[in-house]
Amino acid sequence: MNNYFVILAAGNSKRFSKNKNKQFFNYKNKEIIDHSIIKSLESKLFKKIIVVTNNLSYLKKKKYPKIISIIKGGKERADSSLIALKYLKKFKPKNILIHDAARPDFSIKLLKNLIKLLKKNKAVIPFTSPRDSIKYKINDHFFNLDRKKAFLTQTPQAFRYKILYELYRKQKSNITDEATLFIANNQKIRFITGDIGNNKITYIDDVKLIKTFYGIGFDIHRLVKDKKLYLGGIKIPFHSGLEGHSDGDVILHAVIDAILGASRKKDIGTYFPNSKKFKNIKSPKMLKPILDNLKKSDYSINNLDINLICEQPKVSKYRNKIINSISRLTNLDKNSINLKGKTVEKLGLIGKEKAIACEVIISINKYD
């Protein structure tokens, strides 16, 4: 195993942020640069990993394993690559992979494939095909480019060290990747299919992630004779209904509390106290403003898991109707709603058919 991995992380990220270099921005619970470092370590494919940066003091504080060397980079990307190549010369490497830290989503599978194909090739470059129509401009004229013939190259890019080093020594102009260097010198390249998700992070919007929050809701009401029973927003034929300041719909009340819990907005009593204003209010009317506020805050419901706890009525008989009602009220796909019926083995008020309870777990998403 005579493979070496170079991570280029010396850019100043002008297009990303004025306040922070993107390689040190938090992405999927790690700094962007650490994704590349961790994957290269976990792959166990490399004798040494070189991180090229202009923030030596910060990275050295992290106390990486000895296999990792941190060196100072240059002004341009090509300068940093050459610095790394010169540094590695003393180790007499056979193969070298050069990677941009701004691509944290490459796979270890891709690393293995690149190294495997280097056995019979001087250079192996991953690419994806463009999805958009492409135009290019020469002077004042525009031309259509056949996207079937266009390659969007990625990193890591793999090379025989000696060939890459010699080409860099002779290179005078600035280049944006090592594949450009090989093409400019009429060197043969093996292009392979890259990772679809291995996109380069350039702008702050590229790291907008979905954040998921969870909430738990619970409600219980006594059953009383000669009152209508509402569950999940629909009337259920039964000899008793649920006692409460409102219509007593334990399912929708638990859904509301779960939403408020996930969005950190206190509880149902905060918004609907036992006052004259809300006497006998229908639960769908209580749910609507809670959902409106959720939407205004850029949250969306991912799924609902509902436990209806009662001896009677049997949940299985009304499951589909209740799910369809909740789907309509929340504008949530019914396949994202689960309703389970639970009994309590005749124990307590619920077991004596004197009460019905409901608990709900919800997950909601928000783009950060």
Helix (H, G, I), strand (E, B) or coil at 320: helix
Residue 158 identity: A
Percent of residues in the chain assigned helix, strand, coil, to nearest 5: 35, 30, 35
pTM of the full predicted structure? 0.70
342-361 mean pLDDT: 94
Rounded CA gap, 313 and 309, in Å?
A: 10
| Whole-number pLDDT of residue 368 | 64
Residues 341-350 have a mean pLDDT of: 93
Q: Tell me where in the chain the CATH 3.90.550.10 domain(s) lie.
A: 3-207
Q: Provide the CATH topology of domain 3-207.
A: Spore Coat Polysaccharide Biosynthesis Protein SpsA; Chain A (3.90.550)
Mean confidence (pLDDT) of the chain: 93
- The C-alpha angle 210, 213, 216, rounded to 5 degrees, equals 155
> What is the predicted pLDDT for the residue at 46?
98
Judge whether residue 311 has pLDDT over 80.
yes
pLDDT tens digits, 128-176: 999 899 898 999 999 998 888 999 999 999 999 999 999 998 888 888 8
Two tokens, residue 332? 């949530």
Q: What is the distance, to the nearest Å, from the Cα of residue 348 to the centroid of all Cα atoms in its chain?
A: 44
Interval 63-92: pLDDT, tens: 899 999 999 999 999 999 999 999 999 999
Predicted local confidence at residue 13, as pLDDT: 67
Would the pLDDT of 366 be above 90?
no
CATH match of 210-367 with 3.30.1330.50: yes
- Residue intervals of the chain classified under CATH 3.30.1330.50 are 210-367
Lowest mean pLDDT across 167-176, 286-295, 323-332 = 167-176
- Cα 58 from Cα 64, distance rounded (Å): 12
Mean pLDDT of 290-312: 94
Tell me the pLDDT band of 25, cut-offs 50, 70 and 90: confident
Spell out the alpha helix ranges (H) of the chain. Answer: 32-43, 56-60, 77-88, 108-117, 161-170, 178-184, 250-262, 268-271, 283-296, 315-330, 348-351
